[in-house]
Amino acid sequence: MYQAGSRAGRSNAPDGALTAPRFTASATTKGRLISTEQCLDWLAQQRAQRAFSVEQVPFDQLVGWHFHKDTGNLVHQSGRFFTIEGLQVHLEPARVQDWNQPIIVQREIGILGILVKEFDGVLHCLMQAKMEPGNSNLVQLSPTVQATRSNYTGVHKGKAIPYLEHFRAPRQGTVLVDSLQSEQSGWFLHKRNRNIVVETTEDIELLPDFAWLTLYQIQELLRLDNVVNMDARTVLSIMPFAPPEAPAEQDTGFRAALVRSLDAESPTVHSVTEAMSWLTENKARYELTQQRIRLDEVDCWHRDEERIAHQDGGFFSIVGVAVRAENREVGSWTQPLLAPAHEGLVAFLVKKIDGVLHILIQARPSAGALDIVEVAPTLQCTPETYLGLPAEHRPRFLDEVIAVPQNRVRYVAWQSEEGGRFLNAHIRYQVIEVEDDFPEQEPDGFRWLTVHQLSALVGFGVGVNVEARSLLACLHTLW
């Protein structure tokens, strides 16, 4: 006989309905185990205690890496990890329709996982002090586990990865959120990682490189430059948050508008259905052809003993580094890294519409995108590229962001992109509240979405890009 909810262990709760308030509680509770200051001290100690060194080396000093004699691709002798190959791109409509470039190919799906556990009824995240050779300050706060498939299937021949067992089936804990998310699609071809948050109720041994922090603490650290690494930011971005409280109706402030923006019941410019349809429309609008070619066939890029670089010195270069460290899976190693030529700039323009904060997002095609276009921040570019170019060739809103008065900037920090693949990839992330007279009319390819809606798109795994997810995580520090 039919009885609703009669079986133990059956879930019929609306998705996220139980999880979101628990993440919010963690984001509004100071840490009970160590203070944020202690956390910063601990990161500094981790940096000091271990004698890390990273230096650039010529390609012929890379151990296990070589340029394949047939393809010219830069590969590891195991055939694993990643390769540097060439990519021929055709995109239309576009100002530049055809180009080729070096690209990192890493088809393996790795794990970026945060283990969470309740202490005094509040979720705490097990965060790691992790060294990555491409980060200028080397040690940043990272997820519990940050592992490529080659790492965790043992190709690395290093130490076992701590806490990995919580993220691989069969597991003891409860999966709270879990989705595949893309990474830099200008530099990677079709790269995704599994972003996952698992809750445990077991006793967990705390290793020296790890600390339990509430989301409140992590968000405090997110306001600082280069403390929370990209891998942590992307996992944070998939967490849904419920509004911490209902703002007073007459409260027209930024924070009240942001809190309303977390609420599924707030009025919105578009429904999620409309947003999905808009994204679909943009995917159907572009034609993107991605053809892998030999690295030595890429035009306009030249290789010498130390780097592969564009003839104009722009975009990025590929270099080799030698790393000496004691707490990574192996004690020392060499590897290639991608070094951007210039710093990046990423911004959300946000606006109160009917008292609810809306983010102006764009549908942006990209060389290495798995699915043609991704949902991107209002502005995402390397400003240096556009110096001296006429205004019509500059990205939409670049001039506005550069000239914005300081009193409109709600968030600004330098953050590093993945230090395991990129060398000193620094991006200035900003949230800018536009003036009230900023037009509500959306330019072609742009849409106003609430924070709740953008989070929903992230949760569907439909391709909110890593820059937008990073900035979404940062935006959550503002309520």
Chain contacts with its own copies (rule: CB under 8 A)? 1-7, 10-16, 107-109, 111, 149, 169, 175-180, 194, 196, 247, 249-252, 256-257, 260, 264-274, 276-277, 280-281, 283-284, 287-289, 291-292, 354-356, 370-371, 460-462
Per the CB < 8 A criterion, the answer to whether 200 and 116 are in contact is yes
Q: Give the nearest distance from C-beta 468 to its own copies in angstroms.
A: 18
Which has the closest alpha carbon to 447: 380, 368, 350? 350
CB count, 10 Å around CB of 132? 25
For its own copies, give the closer residue by CB, 194 or 342.
194
> Which residues on adjacent β-strands are paired with residue 324?
53, 332
Q: What is the distance between the alpha carbons of residues 197 and 167, in angstroms, rounded to a whole number?
A: 8
Output the smallest distance, CB 455 to its own copies, in A: 14
Q: Closer CB to its own copies, residue 175 or residue 330? A: 175
Between CA 287 and CA 141 the distance in angstroms is 39
Minimum CB distance to its own copies, residue 265 (Å) = 7
Cα gap 431→345, rounded to integer Å: 11
CB of 135 to its own copies, least distance (A): 26
Give 172 or 332: the residue with its C-beta nearer to its own copies.
172
**Rounded to an integer, what distance in angstroms lies between the CA atom of residue 176 and that of residue 443?**
36
Q: Kind and range of the H or E element at 451?
A: helix 451-460
For its own copies, the closer CB: 108 or 417: 108
What would the two tokens of residue 190 be?
A: 């079709």
Cα gap 140→229, rounded to integer Å: 6
Q: 3-class DSSP state for residue 152?
A: helix
In whole angstroms, the minimum distance from the beta carbon of 244 to its own copies comes to: 16
The continuous run of DSSP H or E covering 176 comes out as strand 174-182
CB of 130 to its own copies, least distance (A): 21
Taking the complex as a whole, how short is the minimal distance between the CB of residue 164 and its own copies, in angstroms?
13
Distance CA 104, CA 318 (A): 10
Q: Shortest CA distance to 126 belongs to which of 116, 138, 113?
A: 116
Closer CB to its own copies, 275 or 319, in the complex: 275
Task: Report the nearest approach of its own copies to the CB of residue 100 (Å).
Answer: 16
Q: What is the DSSP letter of 132?
A: -
Alpha carbons 418 and 211: distance in angstroms, whole number: 21
Q: Which residue's CB is nearer to its own copies, number 14 or number 313?
A: 14
What are the structure tokens assigned to 76, written together?
Answer: 């590891």
